Amino acid sequence: MNRGARRESRIKAPLLGFFLRSLVILSALSAALLWAEQPTPQDPGVVKRRLAEVQTRLAQVDQQLGALKKRRKGVLVELQSISLQADRARAQADGARLKRDQTEAEVHLISLQKEGIQQEILRLRTELRKQVRWMLALGPWGGLSFFPTTSGFEAYLVQGRYLAYWRNQERRKLDLVQRLQGELLRREKQLQEAVQRLVQEEKETASLQASLKMNEDRLQVFLDDLSQDESKQKNVQAELAEEAIQLERMLATLLNKSRTEAFAGSVLFASQKGELPRPAEGTLAQGFGEQIHPKFHTRTLQSGLLISTEPGAQVQAVAEGRVVFADVYQSYGPMVILDHGGGFFSLYTHMSLFTVSKGQVLKAGEPVGSVGDTLEGPRLGFEIRQMAQPQDPNQWLKTKYK
């Protein structure tokens, strides 16, 4: 290898190494900028869905409160009103917590993004300082002789091209530093706004929690008074019996309508006795028939099952059927009724919300809604009716509740 070739290889080696390092730096910077645009660790889609559920709950509670104003005053109506006010405060508190948690996640993410940008700026500045020192060591002409020899002319051109490329890369680095500084200022502004919003949401959450506590205390006082007042207990029993009669009348009306618009499923409902799936997983809280209330010691005729489940557990259709009712109904709360044809209906009550609409056809196992809270905890009311007459649901299920 001649002297010119050796000199050229010495020039190419460090400049080629710098070129590769520059590509790595630019790739890392691009990855950092892409990472900075990623969504918050708490999936926004999940938060949006949960907030929508809270809004649906609030709308249904307000609808129930509005319906109470049209009903005849009584102990049960008063109890429902107090209980619904507590449910409303609980939903508002849940919504406030969701917004607060979302903002906390946003603050955390912006802080990480700021830290990443600051580290990238520091790294780029360090690289620039190194290259400036190297350029100063080469001199104003970058190590190029003003009168190159003929034998070294090719190496002279190569070195000149690489030095021009180096200067261009340094300009790009400076531009990137400026961009990152602007991005850093933008993130700082976002962080300040998010922190201010978080402070307000913390105050709102604390206020709603206090309101929830007040409503729950009010409900507990009413329940304690009710448990000691036999006359009020009798009134509750009478009002529940009246609601049951009204429900039977509504079912009779639905039955008359279904005769003219009969639902014809792929499998006869009557043939599925003893084979139906459970509407929700849980245990038996109250069975079918005459029951004594554990708290008020009142005797009531239970027209279905009360199933103890996890809060918000999914409720599913036990058989193919058409939705003929999906609305809030007196003390039954959000209620869905499915027409299975042949005069058979299944009823799902005490839900927190329903996810179906009137006229919709469901197959067995498809979701109807989610379990709501009652005074005794999360409960699902489940009934099967034939010609509006209650049937023991456990006799229809493949796996009975115990």
> What does the alpha-carbon distance between residue 29 and residue 177 come to, in Å, rounded to a whole number?
10
At residue 401, the pLDDT reads 94
**Count of beta carbons in the 10 Å neighbourhood of residue 342:** 16
**Amino acid, res. 291:** Q
Output the pLDDT for position 347. Answer: 97
Output the six-digit token pair for 165: 């490329």
Cβ neighbours of 184 (radius 10 Å): 17
Name the pTM for this structure: 0.61
β-sheet bridge partners, residue 334? 328
What is the CB neighbour count within 10 angstroms for residue 272? 19
Q: Let me know how long the chain is.
A: 402
* C-alpha of 255 from chain center: 38
Helix (H) or strand (E) holding 340: strand 333-341
Using alpha carbons, list the distances in angstroms from residue 300 to 290, 292, 321, 347.
Answer: 6, 6, 29, 18
CA distance 120 to 181: 10
- Helix 75-138 and helix 230-260, axial crossing angle in degrees, nearest 10: 80
Tokens of 92: 């508002």
Quick check: 285 and 295 in contact, CB under 8 A? no
Tokens of 202: 């913390």
pLDDT of residue 135: 59
Strand, helix or coil at 31?
A: helix
**Residues 37, 110: Cα–Cα separation, whole Å:** 10
Domains and CATH numbers, the chain: 3-226 (no CATH), 262-395 (2.70.70.10)
Q: For the CA atoms of the chain, what is the radius of gyration?
A: 36
- Residue 261 tokens read as 């618009």
pLDDT in tens, 269-308: 999 999 999 999 999 998 998 877 666 566 677 899 999 9
- Decide if 222 contacts 375 (C-beta within 8 A): no
Candidates 248, 227, 243; CA nearest to 293 is 227
pLDDT of residue 12: 40
Tens-of-pLDDT digits for all 402 residues of the chain? 444 444 444 434 443 343 333 333 333 333 333 333 343 445 667 777 888 888 877 887 887 788 778 777 788 888 888 888 888 888 888 888 888 888 888 888 888 888 888 888 888 778 777 766 765 665 554 454 444 544 554 555 555 565 666 667 677 777 777 888 888 888 888 888 888 888 888 888 888 888 888 988 888 888 888 878 878 877 887 888 888 888 888 888 887 775 556 677 778 999 999 999 999 999 999 899 887 766 656 667 789 999 999 988 999 999 999 999 998 888 888 899 999 988 899 999 998 888 899 999 999 999 999 998 887 889 999 999 998 889 999 999 999 998
Give the distance between the most distant pair of CA atoms in the chain: 118
Query: Burial level of 78, CB count in 10 A (0-12/13-18/19+)?
Result: middle
If you write DSSP's letter for every residue of 214-251 in order, what string do you get? Answer: HHHHHHHHHHHHHHH-HHHHHHHHHHHHHHHHHHHHHH
Query: Residue 138: its pLDDT value, please?
Result: 57
Q: Helix, strand, coil: what percent of the chain each, to 5? A: 60, 20, 20
Nearest to 247 by CA among 323, 322, 327: 327
User: Residue 113 CB: number of other CB atoms within 10 A?
Assistant: 22
Q: State both tokens at 266.
A: 């792929």
pLDDT tens per residue, range 163-180: 666 667 677 777 777 888
